[in-house]
Copies of this chain bind each other. A is one copy, B any other.
């Protein structure tokens, strides 16, 4: 079997760096395709393709504005990903505090010598 489609969910869609950059730009304001292409320094067709993926997973929406197409971020579609990660928040807190505790124990042992 092949890797699952980039359009299968937000997790797969945001795996690609360019698409994350696009989302970052759209977080600031609506943008047209060429506008994005220029900001990213890549060709327009690629941007259109990335936007297609993002549209298919609902991460962006489009609005027709004359002959332009205005893309807008649909941030709430990122929330499931965020929520999944939040489940791990306590883990890295733990690990950090664990590291801290071990460092302190070591320092204490050193003082005793």
Contact = CB atoms under 8 A, between A and B. Distances in A.
Interface residues of A, number: 32
Interface string A2-26: 0110100001101111001001100
Interface stretch (A33-41, A63-71, A78-86, A100-108): A78-86
22 contacts: A4-B15, A4-B17, A11-B14, A11-B15, A11-B20, A23-B88, A24-B87, A73-B88, A73-B91, A75-B88, A75-B91, A75-B94, A75-B95, A78-B85, A78-B88, A81-B81, A81-B85, A82-B82, A82-B85, A82-B86, A82-B88, A82-B89
A27 B87 contact: yes
Nearest to A89: B82
Contact of A27 (B6, B14, B17, B91): B91
